[in-house]
Structure 1
Amino acid sequence: MTKQELIFVPLGGAGEIGMNLNLYGYGKPEEEDWLIVDYGITFGDDTTPGTDVILPDPTFIEQRKDRVKGIVITHAHEDHIGALAYMWDRVQCPVYCTPFTASLARGKLKEAGFGHLDIVKEIPLGGSFELGPFNVEFITFTHSILEPNALAIRTPEGTVVHTGDWKLDAGPVVGRTTDLDALDRLGKEGVLAMVCDSTNVFSPGTTGSEEELESSLTELISQYDGKVCVTCFASNLARLHTIAVAARECGRQIVVSGRSFGRMMEAAHANGYMLDTPDFLPEDEAHHIPDDKLLIICTGSQGEPRAALARISSGNHKNISLGDGDVVIFSSRTIPGNEKSIFRIQNELARKGVEIVTASDHFVHVSGHPAQDELRELFRRVRPHIAIPVHGEFRHLQAHAALAEECGVKKAFVIENGHVVKLEKDLPCIIDEVETGRLAWEGRRAVPMKSEVVQTRKRALFNGSCVASLAVDKDGTILGEPIITTEGLLDPDGDDHLWDQLFDIIFNTVEAMPRRDRKDDAVLEENLRLNIRRWFRNQFGKRAVTHIHLLRV
């Protein structure tokens, strides 16, 4: 008789930071019931032109969706919840989350056209529920968003603690503190495995408390006589509260700019949070407040081109402007990969005479992820038999695995997306690898990042493109003058000698071909394409994306 197994399969978020999609399976091989934990996205950058949103490929679990019991969301950050808006229909199962996250999940699903369906199942903080062979309990943690949860997933094979994103903060300002009693209880019950956040594994000590920021920000803001602008993540509502209290202490009125703040505040108020936060004014009130009495909170801390700070720095914000004597405080960390975008905005602000303050200049930010001492404390309380680091690049996972073994964990795995890990006390091991990938959201569809659609656009951005249209008779003789258009290669109002050479390439290519080949459209087109592309490579070192439009008359 085949033994039932408990397996863990990450399709996103292992070997990378972001785009989390985790699977737990229990049952006989190829007959497992499945639980999905988180369904997130990541964002495009300079290496993915034209692609703003990138999603994990859910094909593996989509093929098994009839055995999926549900999606459990640990918290409402986009890299854990964002894919619901794009690809819930690929799995079509209930979504379980705590109240604040549920408010945002319903909004996403409504925008995606699924609002008429009863998809989101709201579970109270600390609540538990059954999904097939899985008993899932929400364990309250602290993080840089409201209601972050770890999951205690109980199965016949044992209990797995899946942490989501977390930190240990005794003063989170808004929301509950970490349920340490629940962690101790789990440790006493016995934990088979812990799947854990690795983001800050290289940071010694502890992350620090949100509560400690208030006095630091108050002291900093009090130094300025001009406008003060603070930029942070819209999802970090505790930071929003901290900034607002500091502003009030300094006698400043608060203007908020950024649509995402509104969505977050609405969800917070609907669930009883932020009710004692100082009042915010709409951004069109900024003109009426003296500079020394104004504090602006805005989105755009990561250099997002459409966020409020980008529009302010470029002078295109219709209500807010900054200049000499003003300051922008970056109350956030720089996410790896965003450096260029952030520096571009900071340089634009500096040219206007605006002072820039970051976490390297003053105590203006605490992270939402655990440093080394917090990881050690969690291992001490939970005492898992197996450790599986996730939510980190490969180097993070290696360091986390070493720390886990230092804490007495018997087996620590360093895995990446697609690895299938059998979780059992006696002989846990990697037993397989499944296909994974990334999808680019293109308008209303998801296409593989390796598809010709995405790769051609990328090649065209970096190498330029050329389209040559020409008419030929039945013998392959060119009729009239070809029409050539290029993007990013030749100046249409100049480069006359180069245009002449390009036309010569076309005529010479056709004339040099045997009459038999000139009568074959496919052969003629391919010869023209190769010779034009070769000419661009010889002239500019560019592998131009080249297309031939041939009309046979």
Structure 2
Amino acid sequence: MQITPSADELLFVPLGGTGEIGMNSYLYGHDGQWLMVDLGVAFADERLPGIDLLLPDPAFIAEQREKLAGLVITHAHEDHLGAIPYLWNRLRCPVYATPFASAVLRRKFEEFGLLGEVELIELPVGGSFDIGPFGLEFITLTHSIPEANALLLRTKAGTVFHSGDWKLDPDPLVGAGYDRERLARLAEEDILALVGDSTNALVPGHSGSEADVRTSLMDLAGTLKNRIAVTCFATNVARLETVAQVAHAHGRRVVLAGRAMHNIVRAAKEVGYLEDFPPTVDERDAGYLPREEVMLLVTGSQGEPRSALARIARNDHPEIALEKDDAVIFSSRIIPGNEKAIHALQNQLLAAGIEVWTEEDHFVHVSGHPCRAELEQMYHWVRPRLAVPMHGERRHLMAHAKLAQSCQVPHVFVPSDGQCVRLTRDGAQVVGEVPTGRLAVDGGAIVPVDHGAVRERRKVSFQGAAVLTLVVDREGRLEGEPLLTVYGLFGDDEAGWRMAEAAIDAVEKSVGRLKHREKHNDDVVRETARLAVRRSLHRDTGRKPVTDVHLVRLD
């Protein structure tokens, strides 16, 4: 499907990020061309076994990539740029970003063998630039990462304020503060639409400041006597600096654990942040330090099974261990959908006698997204004719819509992924639907989430599996007893053996009842045996296992 925007219209198409947290990717169309804003990942849960990352399906724009003028990155979080190295070959367009996001992307491109192939155009913070028919301006905001940018898109059909992720932090500690003067002047520019972050639209008040977290962590660390491990988003550069300063104040040495921690610290230093970050102790040497002198900065705040903290909790980390009465501080929020994994990790640590501190126990985190008072302030500054909530689950989008109405915004529209929406002074009009969906990073392959292998793996994880080996002679008579192997259905005990024997008996009876001509047909014998196994196991276990039959016919 192809849609060509006309010279007198401005179209908006979310490919991901509306109705969900993560996987942000948005298209704007005007005068025959499209502009993509962000291309991020989401993280899979237990419903997709073996899958870590999910990507937005770019099929709609990939089919007409000659009309894609460029891809602009608002900031360096994974849910806004993490999909680029996986999908850039389908788009092959220039990528525009400010220095910190550019530094993060260069490391990703090097890892994927794309360094030098992708046209990465680095732009200054607060810079203005043109891409095709779009006049663009970065407006500096604050977030839980340096260089969070709102994007002002000017076209002949109207101007859009695309907020990106943001908050109003009076003291962000690292990077520039939000550009209050520029934001206040937006009311003079007749903004057609505000396309805005909805993550905290249900939360009253203000999100809080990084400076306050630093003070609180400084106090908390003073009460802890043994090793301290702090886990947070690696991209929260201000939080990394805070942990380093807390460590220095309490006579501790910083140890980085997890590839993302090392990469972000290097990227931040490359562009002028973390200039006073202390020399770190190599992971291999951490065990030689007295416990009271160790401050670990570790990945794993969302319970990721292969993260540094998860490996430490399993006693599976090659260099680092935690012991009874050590402490772990989760200096982060729980992303919706990650609750089970995080709580399981915390329970594992507690069972080992390790202290666990979260935002429920102490003031150890502030959100990077605007709460209701901040959203109200933004609407007071921008005064758009139309509000389009994005970046959030449906409940967040609806709460944002109601808040915008209370701020006297004339028109409000809550979009869904795949809707092609015309933005006008009289509101939003859905003018079409484009194909959209999720792709899964499955090992080295990128496949649809409903791909056969992913679907079958999911079914095996819930229903189990059975493999039957059947040997027959030329006449279709069984040669010896069939061999049955089962996975995830019953244990290796007497009850399990009885169920296996019952399934084998069912196979022997079903195959034995076949007519003479049916016994000569391999497909009929195989399917008869498969159904017999499946029905017997379903009767005994209540599950419908994925069942396969290996048939060997002797000459």
Distance of 1:118 and 1:438 partners within structure 2: 24
Q: Which residue of 2 is the match for residue 504 of structure 1?
A: 505
- Aligned to 1:336, the other structure's residue is in SS state coil
Q: 1:392-427 deviations in whole A, cap 9, x for unaligned?
A: 111111000000111111111112111111111135
CA distance in structure 2 between the aligned counterparts of 1:412 and 1:193, rounded to whole angstroms: 9
Superposition deviation, residue 301 in structure 1: 1.4
State whether residues 95 and 118 of structure 2, in contact with CA within 8 Å, keep that contact through their aligned partners in structure 1: no
Structure 2 equivalent of residue 193 of structure 1:
193
Q: Which residue of 2 aligns with 1:171?
A: 171
Separation (CA, whole Å) in 1 of partners of 2:6 and 2:363:
57
The answer to which of 393-402 and 493-502 deviates more is 493-502
Structure 1 vs Structure 2 CA RMSD: 1.8
Taking the aligned partners of 1:247 and 1:106, their CA distance within structure 2 comes to: 30
| Gapped regions of structure 1 (runs ≥ 5) | none
One-letter amino acid of the structure 1 residue matched with residue 377 of structure 2: E
Q: Distance in 1 between matches of 2:118 and 2:543?
A: 53
Inter-CA distance 3–87: structure 2 relative to 1 (3 Å threshold): closer
Q: What is the rounded CA distance, in whole Å, between the counterparts of 2:313 and 2:444 in structure 1?
A: 31
Of the candidates 4, 11, 28, which is equivalent to residue 7 of structure 1?
11
Q: 1:258 to 1:423 in 2, by over 3 A?
A: same
Deviations 1:474-497 (A, max 9, x none): 443333333322211244675332
TM-score, structure 1 as length reference = 0.95
Distance 1:490 1:316, change over 3 A: closer
Partner of residue 25, structure 1? 29
SS in 2 for 1:14: coil
User: Matches of 1:192 and 1:4 in 2, distance apart?
Assistant: 14
1:83 Cα deviation (Å)? 0.8
Deviation at 1:118, TM superposition (A): 4.4
Q: Give a deviation string over 1:355-380, Cα, whole Å, max 9, x none.
A: 21111111111111110001111111
CA contact (8 A) 2:24 2:38 kept: yes
Q: Hey, what's the Cα distance between the residues in 1 that align with 2:435 and 2:389?
A: 20
Partner of 1:90: 90
In 1, are the aligned partners of 2:18 and 2:415 still within 8 Å (CA)? yes
1:547 alignment counterpart = 548
The 5-angstrom pairing of residues 164-243 of structure 1 reads: 164-243=164-243
Distance 1:52 1:2, change over 3 A: closer
Q: Secondary structure at the match of 1:70?
A: strand
Answer yes or no: is 1:257 the counterpart of 2:261: no
Q: Give the drift of 1:45.
A: 1.4
Tell me how far 1:92 sits from its aligned partner.
0.9
State how far apart, in whole Å, the 1-side matches of 2:342 and 2:76 are.
Answer: 24
Where does 1:261-280 land on structure 2 (aligned, <5 Å)?
A: 261-280=261-280
What percent identity do the matched residue pairs reach?
46
- Name the structure 2 match of 1:135: 135
TM superposition shift of 1:130: 1.3
Contact in 1 for aligned 2:139/2:151 (Cα 8 Å) = yes
1:420 counterpart SS class: strand
Q: Matched residues in 2 for 1:315 and 1:111: separation?
A: 28
Tell me the alpha carbon deviations over residues 436-467 of structure 1, each in whole angstroms, 9 at most, x when there is no partner.
11111122221111122111100011111112
Determine the C-alpha separation between the residues in 2 that align with 1:427 and 1:265: 44
State the distance in 2 between where 1:323 and 1:492 align: 35
Please list the CA deviations of residues 43-63 of structure 1 after superposition, one character each: whole Å capped at 9, or x if unmatched: 121111011111111111111
Give secondary structure in 2 for the equivalent of 1:428.
strand
Deviation at 1:518?
Answer: 2.9
Quote the Cα distance in structure 1 between the aligned partners of 2:537 and 2:188: 69
Letter in 1 for 2:353: G
2: CA distance, partners of 1:245 / 1:82: 29
1:305 Cα shift?
A: 1.7
The alignment covers a number of residue pairs equal to 549
1:488 aligns with 2:488: yes
- Correspondence for 1:529: 530
Partner of residue 380, structure 1: 380
Q: CA deviation at 1:226?
A: 1.9
Distance 2:454 2:110 in 1: 28
Tell me which residue corresponds to 1:81.
81
Letter in 1 for 2:549: I
Q: Secondary structure at the match of 1:172?
A: coil
Between stretches 191-200 and 226-235, larger displacement belongs to 226-235
Q: Give me the whole-angstrom Cα distance separating, in 2, the residues matched to 1:49 and 1:439.
A: 14
Deviation at 1:3, TM superposition (A): 6.6
Would you say 1:323 and 2:313 are equivalent positions?
A: no
Contact 2:323 2:353 in 1 (8 A): yes
Given that residues 389 and 401 in structure 1 are in contact (C-alpha distance below 8 angstroms), is that contact kept between their aligned partners in structure 2?
Answer: yes
Secondary structure at the residue paired with 1:392? coil
Do 2:256 and 2:297's aligned partners in 1 also have CA atoms closer than 8 Å?
Answer: yes
Greater mean deviation of Cα atoms: 188-197 or 315-324: 315-324
Which amino acid is the alignment partner of residue 529 of structure 2? L
Aligned twin of 1:357: 357
Shift of 1:290: 2.6
How many angstroms apart in 2 are the aligned matches of 1:222 and 1:513?
78
Q: How big is the shift at 1:180?
A: 1.8
Could you list the runs of 4 or more consecutive aligned residues of structure 1 that deviate by over 4 angstroms after TM superposition? 490-494
Structure 1 SS opposite 2:129: strand
- 1:392 equivalenced with 2:392 (yes/no): yes
Deviation at 1:182, TM superposition (A): 2.0
Helix, strand or coil at the partner of 1:96: strand
Distance across 1 between alignment mates of 2:278 and 2:340: 34
Look up the SS of the partner of 1:334 in the other structure: coil
Whether the 8 Å CA contact 1:255–1:285 is kept in 2: the answer is no
SS in 1 for 2:10: strand
TM-score (norm 2): 0.95
Paired amino acid for 2:507:
I
Of 459-468 and 525-534, deviating more is: 525-534
Distance 2:492 2:512 in 1: 26
322 and 496 in structure 1: CA distance in 2 versus 1, 3 angstrom threshold: closer
Aligned residue identity for 1:363: F
Aligned residue for 1:138, secondary structure, equals strand
Indicate the SS of the match to 1:11.
strand
SS at match of 1:262: helix
2:313 maps to 313
SS at match of 1:480: coil
Q: 1:324 to 1:3 in 2, by over 3 A?
A: closer
